Amino acid sequence: MPMIELLFIPGSLRQASSSRATVRALIKRVEDSATCVTADPGLLPHYNADILDDPAVKAFIDQVAHANGLVFVTPEYNYSVPGVLKNAIDWASRPAMKSVFKDKHCFVMSVSGGALGGVRAQGHLKYSLNGMLAKVFGCPEIVVPMANDKVENGFLTDERILTFAEEQLRAFMTALSESVPDIR
């Protein structure tokens, strides 16, 4: 039986960002149970409906379509999701109500340099995903406050948060395996 394929979508361009460090730490914890791929939303041009054949857009949409589940780790910029993440979502959300996001299982968590851990961005991201008919996994919100102080050697190091996030991510993976035929 094939393994679950998870597409991790970090909401930051910076390689040393706390969102990418969180993605790397989560992958390290679940790579024994899932095929893990990381998208690079920075490769996409600014959304423009006049652009019909961009190879980076096609590659990203194909990644979203192929994955059994999407794992978003978004930072919070000005109380919302970063433009680069919103841009990626806008590209993959076409055609409206019939895009690759329709019925796609999504797991959402957030990071922030502040005390709230990106909870506002997380709410905005879930709202957008729901509007595209994606299936957002219901679990307690996973936030990483003061995230920049918890990164060492390219990985998030907060063991308490990582343990909690892994528990929720594994519950998401279990739900995926029960809802998608022929994966474990």
How many whole angstroms separate alpha carbon 125 and alpha carbon 184? 27
The fold for domain 4-179 equals Rossmann fold (3.40.50)
- For the chain, what are the domain ranges? 4-179
**Could you give the angle at the alpha carbon of 154 between the alpha carbons of 153 and 158, nearest 5°?**
85
**What are the backbone angles phi and psi of residue 55, rounded to the nearest 5°?**
-65, -35
Q: Express each pLDDT in 70-108 by its tens digit.
A: 999 999 999 999 999 999 999 999 998 999 999 999 999
Q: Express each pLDDT in 19-49 by its tens digit.
A: 999 999 999 999 999 999 999 999 999 999 9
How many whole angstroms separate alpha carbon 24 and alpha carbon 38? 9
**What are the backbone angles phi and psi of residue 147, rounded to the nearest 5°?**
-60, -35
